Amino acid sequence: MDNIMLKGPYKFEGENSIFEEISDIVNGIYLWCIRINDNAFRVYYVGEAVDIRKRMRSHLKNRLAGKYTGHDLDSLKDNVRILKHRADEGMVPRFSHIDRKEFNQEFSDNLHLFYSPLPISGDKNADKSLRCRYETGLVTHIENQGQNILTVGHLRFSKDEKTKVTISTTNSNIEHISNQEISI
């Protein structure tokens, strides 16, 4: 059984930025989390990328430009998704009194990022398949625990037999992930 270490938490901007942490191309998976108490996090989104740093820059730019949906941060801490901002449309009418730019900045400021590099085989299709297996395995595991997670993108398992993987984290507890065995 393999073991992967999720590094983090990092922020998009300011002190402890993911961009200061990652200076080279890192192929792997990443999580966006909401802090639910001093040292515990709840996963909001799971993604994969051939270059995590480049993908995070794209995510930050799109988040701040209002191209992503956004949910009420306090409700997410309680595992409840209340949509406040629609991608490219702006604030949901009942929240129209909230400034869109301020909301998206606050949302970005409250995301905590974790990532793990994955091995590179040199075969782009095999590398993509491995990243997607981890992404799908993590999302499925979290959803099976009864947690609401934002699922976007194309989730797919390889048709191969599933493998068990233990997920470790550094000095932080990610709810339903840290020290858990998942199937990829």
pLDDT tens sequence across 32-84: 999 999 889 999 999 999 999 999 999 999 999 999 999 999 999 999 999 99
pLDDT computed for residue 170 by the predictor: 83
What's the mean pLDDT in 2-25?
94
Convert the pLDDT of each residue in 89-127 to its tens digit: 999 999 999 999 999 999 999 999 999 999 999 999 999
pLDDT computed for residue 2 by the predictor: 85
Convert the pLDDT of each residue in 121-156 to its tens digit: 999 999 998 999 999 999 999 999 998 887 766 666
In which band, very low, low, confident or very high, does the pLDDT at 157 lie, cut at 50, 70 and 90?
low
pLDDT computed for residue 171 by the predictor: 84
| % pLDDT > 90, the chain | 82
**Residue 184: pLDDT over 90:** no
**Across-strand partners of 42?**
34
Burial class, 113, CB count within 10 angstroms (exposed 0-12 / middle 13-18 / buried 19+): buried
Estimate to the nearest angstrom the gap between the alpha carbon of 84 and the chain centroid: 19
What's the mean pLDDT in 11-32?
95
**Residue 1: pLDDT over 60:** no
